[in-house]
Amino acid sequence: MFSPLSLILVYPLVVILPAVLVSILGTATEGVVYEMGRNAALAGVMIILLQGFLAARFKWVERPFGLDILVRFHKYMAAAAAVLLLLHPLLIAAGSGSLDLLISLDQPWYIWLGKITLFLVLANVGVSLYQRKLNLKFEKWRLVHDILGPAIIVFAFVHSITVGKDLQQPLMLGLWSIFFVVAVVVFVWHRLVRPRLLQRNPWQVIDVQQEAPDVWTVKLEPPRGEQVFEYLPGQFQFITFFRGRDLPVEEHHWTISSSPAEKNFVTSTIKALGDFTSTIDKTRAGDRAAVQAPFGRFSYVLHPEERDLVFLAGGIGITPLMSMLRHMRDVQSTHRVVLLYGNPNIEQAVFHSEIKEIEAGDHPDLKAVDVLSDPDDDWSGESGFIDGEKIVRHCGRDLSGKTFYVCGPPPLVAAVVSALDELDISHRQIRIEIFSFLD
Amino acid sequence: MRKVELKYVTIVTVCFIAAALIIMAGIRAWMTAEAPSAAGARLFQQKGCTQCHFTESDKTKVGPGLKGLFGREKLPESRRPVTSENVRRQLVDPYEDMPVFKDDLTEAERESLIEYMKTL
């Protein structure tokens, strides 16, 4: 297994490798500005060729960081690649002392291919960064991404080897071709081959249980003769349901809400929040599902030295914390946990009765507090939202030895982290699940 | 790793890449730099100018010989004054039958060729 630091260090070195090699092996120069333009293209394309590794859910890349962090890095680097590729023609034109490259229509086909590639890169980055503002649904965005991504890789490769004199040297051409082939193989594996292999070995829905209004728990059984994969409480899984009955077939990721101590099934507890999840209640026992898991690093198991935990959850954000509480119960953990769970009213508090049962038991040492923003008149518990005052009231003034796990809708997470900041809680004491890849 | 730490890692990574690209461009320019007249001499061969022009004589081969070109008052065919600008004009918009060297050459390459012709 690779350490996070080694991967962080290797990544930029791989990105600059072609630029370093052509700089050493090159036999002529057009001047510093022109060379910067050439290097910008080499690094920009390398970033694009490496994008697949960040997003393809390879365990050896994902485990040290968590998939949410990797997907964000994938986004940031896409923007960096777009800037580098935008600088490429500008610097080349400036370095050659002629604006013809930028403004003349009389250009060879491979220059036009480069311009088209740049346009596709900017379009791909634009629709990905502004998916929400463009009101583009996830599946449509993914289709666009799946078409533009490979097109950019192929076009960039053809443009680079036809126009780039340095890349026509045998050594550079060989190396460049290897990078290109690997990028194509990663894409084909991630988007075409692996989904079909998972579909061929499907899991089966064995139960669908309503937990609260608009919230259902789907219980899945592994393929015959197989056990549930090893996972940590708090991790998530990708599920594609094959339900027939004209119901949509889309891949989505949901937290695993069951305890890893259960070896015969996993559950995900899903709230009807969008077009797809609003059909989750139509899922039936016997439906098939492709499952890819586990992912994520939001788990108390990764930090065994931390014994005093504070769980701050809102709405469906309880699911990873519920998996942790169930696991603590099942392994007879002696952790001390305070749970502040925010909901509009008690009917919408998912797992309410099971949390009370765990609180009544000895493992973990749990204190569960419901915080209701719109309670019934007879509610005598905490009202309003989770804030610094409530955290101090239930966790005590000395918060120095505690670790805070925060999960919920983005506004709740932002408000809670802000409250923790005001309480002088170090960022190292706060663990956040960034569950949506879009935020 | 948290979102904040990720931003720092991304900023450091991008800055490292950008710095490396600039430094490597400088190194290449420094390692492969040659005098403009030397670059012009190389281009004069590469672009096939020698097929039509002598450089060691002012006699006509296909086009006029270029020896001592910048010591003359007029360009051999167009009879324009011998200046860098008029030689550049002859390359991009030639008088009579000489091939056009507009798209084949960058401005820097044209400059190198002119510097080379000054040495003849």
Each residue of B16-39: pLDDT tens digit?
Answer: 999 999 988 888 888 777 677 778
Determine the pLDDT at residue B79.
86
Determine the pLDDT at residue A408.
92
Q: CA-CA-CA-CA torsion for A23, A29, A32, A33, nearest 10 degrees? A: -110
- Contact list in B for residue A426 (CB cut-off 8 A) is none
DSSP character for B98? P
Instruction: Residue count of chain A, please give it.
Output: 439
Determine the pLDDT at residue B102.
72
Whether A417 contacts chain B with CB within 8 A:
no
pTM of the model: 0.79
Give every CB contact of residue A190 below 8 A, 6+ residues apart in sequence.
A52, A55, A56, A57
Residue in A19, A29, A431 closest to B21 by CB: A19
Tell me the shortest Cα–Cα distance from B11 to chain A, in angstroms: 9
| Tens-digit pLDDT profile for residues A8-52 | 889 999 999 999 998 888 777 778 898 899 999 999 999 999 999
Residue in B14, B21, B29 closest to A40 by CB: B21
Distance CA A190, CA A198 (A): 11
Distances (CA, A) of A221 to A53, A258, B89: 30, 12, 79
Determine the pLDDT at residue A114.
95
Determine the pLDDT at residue A336.
95
| Token code pair at residue A132 | 């929400």
Is the ipTM of this structure higher than 0.85?
Answer: no
Residue type, A387: D
Give every CB contact of residue A24 below 8 A, 6+ residues apart in sequence.
B27, B28, B31
Determine the pLDDT at residue A437.
57
C-alpha A134: how far from chain center: 20
Determine the pLDDT at residue A347.
93
Q: CA-CA-CA-CA torsion for A137, A140, A145, A150, nearest 10 degrees? A: 170
Residues of chain A whose pLDDT is less than 50? 439
- Looking at the DSSP bridge assignments, the partners of residue A314 are A342
Number of helical (H) and strand (E) elements in chain A, helices listed first: 13, 12
Give every CB contact of residue A13 below 8 A, 6+ residues apart in sequence.
none
Tell me the shortest Cα–Cα distance from A15 to chain B, in angstroms: 7
Determine the pLDDT at residue A403.
95
Determine the pLDDT at residue A259.
95
User: Helix A410-422 crosses helix A388-395 at what angle (to 10 degrees)?
Assistant: 70
Determine the pLDDT at residue A89.
95
Instruction: Residue count of chain B, please give it.
Output: 120
Closest CA to A190 of A74, A45, A277, A65: A74
- For residues A160 and A176, is the Cβ–Cβ distance under 8 A? yes
Whether B29 contacts chain A with CB within 8 A:
yes
- For residues A368 and A354, is the Cβ–Cβ distance under 8 A? no
Residue type, B108: A
| B94-104: average pLDDT | 78
In degrees and rounded to multiples of 5, residue A290 shows phi and psi of -90, 130
Determine the pLDDT at residue A132.
81
